[in-house]
Structure 1
Amino acid sequence: MLPEIDIQKLAMESRQRLIEEFTDTYANLRERVKRVPEAEARKISEGLSCPLEVAMVAYLINMDGIIGLRSAVDLFTTELGRRASVAEDVPNLPGNVMEFALSEGRWISHLYGRFSRQLELQGRSLANLEDVIDSKNMEVEKALSIIAERTKLAETIISPILEEWIKEHPKSISVDALTAFGQAITKWNRATLNGKFKQVLRRNQAHFRLIRESLIGVTDSFTIDASLARLDALIDELGQPLERLPLRAVAHFLIHLIPRPISGRGDRSPFVDVGVSSTRGNKAEPDLVSPFDFLERDVKLARRRKGDERAEYLSEQIGRVIRVLKYQGNDLTACVEKCLNEIKGRFKLEDVPLDNVISSAKVQISEAPLSERDTLTIKIVHDFVDAHIYEEDSMH
């Protein structure tokens, strides 16, 4: 098990990395928010009933592919509501609201971006250890490895970020942090997450008790004694009401929410899986970086849907990619050309000629009313996918 001094050192390094990242993210958002189309922002503000400044930052978060527009606005408005409920209202002045939106935007971008990806990746090594747990016979070395891995993940990576979140969110308590971090990790809505809290807490305690049993009876070992003391303390802390959970317990609790790949093994611990499946297809896939990575993923995901549901889903995802490309400086005809070329290459459509399709698209877009061009662009890409990927699927 890691010595306490090493835990503190690693936690300090994590905190420093977070501060550096937030400095960059804040500067990035502040600079880019100046270029958000005012008409788009006002449309979002009116449609989702949120302050204009929140709409502008939510627009950027959506453009970055972090989370959807409505989800981003919901997170902002929920935090505004929480602050109002504890008499820490954000003054209703443009400058104050923009400062709130930029600061909270850093957290949304981090929690739903790098943080959740990092936890899922690091959670895999923990899952490999815990998937072989046998409630009747667990080796002492295995138990110690699990404790060490959980301690490192919870107390050197998650805890420092939790502490910073609490500092930056006035009068917040542990259940607020649990909800904010838990939603980012699981992608569950607030009601679902809140409904599972007690179940996950019980499983977490049961999991620690199971590990503890494998260490009982081993004598003359400082490491064993220290591990037992840590487990006893955590089991006790996890028994506290949600509102008073110590941050260390919150960090260990969040580990229990990390999506677990379904291995198909018969020897998985019943104390680990809480019904959260992997969000990455149970594969060690590369991170999604470019808008075309997301487009490829969404075209594949849309295969699971049928009829109008598929068309609506795919059109929404294509629209998001088009917005990102426009923000990068591409006109609509360039957006079509890039999307179709990427789709052709990624789905191995070597026999599908694009010249005529792209030429026709240019004519259609140029002749369409300005207000209809975005919708037409989405339709052109959608129809291409429908004709050359889904139609091909139906023939097999």
Structure 2
Amino acid sequence: MGFLETGAKLEKEEKYVVNKYALLIGTETFNDPAISNLGGVLKDVEKFSTILRDSELSSFEVTSLTNPLLIDARRAISDVCIKAMKDDIVFFYYSGKGVLGADKSFYLLFTDSEYKFQDATCMESEFVLSQFRKSECETFIIVIDTCHSGAFFNNNRGLPKSLVALTAGDENQMAMETEEGGVFTNTIIKGLKSDYIDANRDGKITFSELFDYITQQQSKSTESSYEGSPKKWEWNVDKDLVLFDSPRSVFISYQRQQSDLVEKISQSLIKSGISTFVDTKKIRTGDIWKELLERSIKNARAFIIVLDKEILNSEVADWELETAHKHGVPILPLAVEKVTIPALFQKMYGHYNRMDFDIDKYEYSITTVIEHIKALRVRQPEEVAEDKIADGTR
């Protein structure tokens, strides 16, 4: 007893599903009159929550605390660290007030914090790290948007097994805020909503790609009073950590004489929540353009080809269209002028519905395009294979 008979099959071991937990804390109002209130912090939390819950980008289980008491914040941190297992991921975000103690320790402030009694009523960052160290979880992501945020790791008594962190600045720098939230947080959110952040076009956003994007954008900031420069922190990370999936863009194939129209279409799509890929913006100096274009098309949500007389003679556009077809990307031909479609083109791609895009009725035309894109689904691999057999491409 206790042994399997010869030839008996072991049942397959169930694969562990990695859980991703996010704890988002934002504090903008304080009971102590000695602590000034903030504006836009709760918007920071709401925007981050939306991004982290997005099933296409990250699918985190999100817990949000807004203007919590100190005890509630401590309990929430302990709770997420208790339930997270070894292979899980914990994302910790705080937006609000951060202050330095006399010994350079860093404190997070909450609604009931009192400036005069920091040790008793504020949360030392070491408490957060102590809970991380006790947790079975081995991967932590930390984002801190406060003044003096670079002091988060001061006077720590040890770090968890593995972590990456982003702070709005170093321990001596202020963090800029607007009515729409922190400049640092808004930069991150803007990047995660676009696919420009995905430098190598592999459909994944890594820690390094996110930090590179933030530093580039912060250096262009028009906020004259912004003094901070974002900092990144890594501990015991043996490879670039993948944080999120990149949002899937609509790839737009066009000829240069349509640049102004394509820019207008692109901006309209972005305003409606649809990310776009336009190669004049996304292909950078030194990039291996064909490899990047193929990755971009393969990962695209949809492929728009702007049909005019010139594009039908373009070898590059023909290759882009063929690549989209090969990878099963939904194709939307937009005819912006009267064109005669060649027989071969009609044979290969005639089953895609062509849309006449009336420039004189732009709002109507772009609304139709947006509705069409939002209704699209990506074809399954077996459907792509059937098309290849039918049109003789395999």
The two structures share one fold, judged by TM-score above 0.5: no
More strand by share: 2
Higher helix share: 1
TM-score by length of 1: 0.28
Determine which structure has greater relative contact order: mean sequence separation of CA pairs < 8 Å that are 6+ residues apart, divided by chain length: 1
Q: Return the TM-score normalized by structure 2.
A: 0.28
Q: Which protein is bigger by CA-based radius of gyration?
A: 2
